[in-house]
Amino acid sequence: MDPPILCFQDATLALLAGGSYFLIHRGLLARHSPVFADAFTNRDPSDYFCGQPVFEVNDSSKDMAFFLLALYDGSYVPFLSSCPTKLAFVKFPFQIRCQ
């Protein structure tokens, strides 16, 4: 188990992607993605990490980190030197219907 990549002291969710945890805000994800909003509504958490409910996704930690940094920082643009990184950065928001 890796330490959290992105971690906020007032986090309300432990998002698990690719074996890495992100301690983030559930409401922010729900606001920008109806996929996450629906998933959070219809789920009763059974696992906890650092006192927060765990929500696991099938995405890589790298894809999730790029997405979350863009969502939180707004102006963050990852280093787009490789084709897989470019594809991950472009495809991920469409996959979760991010608004």
Q: Is the pTM of this model over 0.85?
A: no
Q: Domain of residue 69: give its range.
A: 6-95
Per-residue pLDDT tens, the chain, 99 aa: give them: 555 678 999 999 999 999 999 999 999 988 888 888 888 887 778 899 999 999 999 888 888 887 888 788 775 555 554 444 444 545 554 454 445
Q: Is 91 contained in some domain? A: yes
Residue 34 tokens read as: 């109806």
Assign residue 72 the CATH number of its domain.
3.30.710.10
Q: Is 76 contained in some domain? A: yes
State residue 2's pLDDT score.
57
